[in-house]
Amino acid sequence: MVAIRPIALLLALTLIALSPSSSRAGAHSSQPEDRLANSSDTSLFAQSAAEALNRDFPSSDISFLLLDASTGRVLASRWDHPDTPIPMGSLFKPFTALAYGEQHEFQYPAHTCRGDATGCWLPRGHGKMNLTSAIAQSCNSYFRMLTSDLTSTDVGPTATRFGLNPPPRTANGAELAGLGDRWRTSPLGMARAYVELARDRDQPAVDQIFAGMADSARYGTAAAVHRVLSRSDALAKTGTAACTHGHGGPGDGFAVVLTPADHPQLLLLVRVHGVPGSHAAQTAAQMLQRIGD
């Protein structure tokens, strides 16, 4: 398999070689993230990525948004009405966690997930959880506990600050962690919220959230990212939500992946019809691998 960080470097070097400016006297190379920020180089990459993804992942069951993680610019997309709010499940959880932290001096409790008995998606339970492990495993039980005393008034300002639609005024409990279908936001808004989260990685609790997203990509609900890319240099979060496709289905899987983990250059948001979020993570990883070939 091909690793993302070398891919970014190879892409930058290739673009430098092809660029007319590379042959000018005094021209010098720049860092990969600088090359991606250059509008002409970004356009070349965006065109190549869009062609590859649309060619190799043609299914109408797959929707995607590929963004420049440093600017929030859309590089490639195939998503009908990306500005229309839809339920996006557990992708809301990191922002709910920040809202909780702002109400509790960023002190997060431990919790024992007992599976069905405490309302988790994993029947046998995850056992003892903290914020980082709860993000990695997308533990519903932990977030039911975390949101038990929150209101939409508590969560709304944080959501708005990150560009998300706030939850409904009457939402409460687990609805404030994205469970159910009442809290909705646009796919493009969600993608850019994660871009903004990456910019705020030095703020309180974001380091715990990102540690959870890194663990998710290694061995959590997004473990397919590590398996497909043969490395864990990525941040990932999965979600499963009610289907909003016209032909209906049991649910839709979502995955957001940022890479590389220490300084994200790319963000890919994927929705796959009729599967859980863990399956969407595998599709996202395969797409990232393809645009890196």
Residue 125 in any domain: the answer is yes
Tell me whether residue 20 is in a domain: no
CA distances, 230 to each of 178, 214, 285 (Å):
30, 14, 10
> By the 8 A CB rule, do 2 and 289 touch?
yes
* Residue type (1 letter), 118: T
Residue 57 lies in a domain: yes
Query: Does 189 fall in a domain?
Result: yes
pLDDT digits (tens, 9 = 90+) for 192-244: 999 999 999 999 999 999 999 999 999 999 999 999 997 668 999 999 999 98
Q: What is the largest CA-CA distance in the chain?
A: 69
Write down the pTM of the prediction. Answer: 0.86
Least confident span in 9-23, 29-43, 129-143, 195-209 = 9-23
Pseudo-torsion of CA 225, 232, 236, 215, nearest 10°?
120
Residue range 147-164: average pLDDT? 97
Split into its structural domains, the chain has a count of 1
Those residues with Cβ within 8 angstroms of residue 168's Cβ, 6 or more apart along the chain or in another chain: 152, 175, 182, 183
CA distance 174 to 176: 5
- Say what percent of the chain tops pLDDT 70: 84
CA 275 and chain centroid, separation: 17
Identify whether 22 is part of a domain.
no
The mean-pLDDT minimum among 2-6, 121-125, 151-155, 178-182 falls in 2-6
228: its two tokens? 């497909």
Instruction: Report how many helices (DSSP H) and strands (DSSP E) the chain contains, helices first.
Output: 11, 9
**How far apart (Å, rounded) are the C-alpha atoms in residues 39 and 78?**
21
How is the chain split among helix, strand and coil, in percent rounded to 5? Answer: 50, 15, 35
Q: Give a yes or no: residue 21 inside a domain.
A: no
33 has pLDDT over 50 = no
Which residues lie closer than 8 Å to 205 by C-beta, 6 or more apart? Answer: 97, 98, 101, 106, 108, 131
Calpha distance 230→225 (Å, rounded):
8
Domain limits at 65? 4-15+29-292
The CATH number assigned to the domain holding 210 equals 3.40.710.10
Do the domain assignments include residue 23?
Answer: no
- In b/e form, how buried is each residue of 92-125, taking b as 16+ CB within 10 angstroms? bbbbbbbbbbbeeebebeebebebeebbbbbeeb
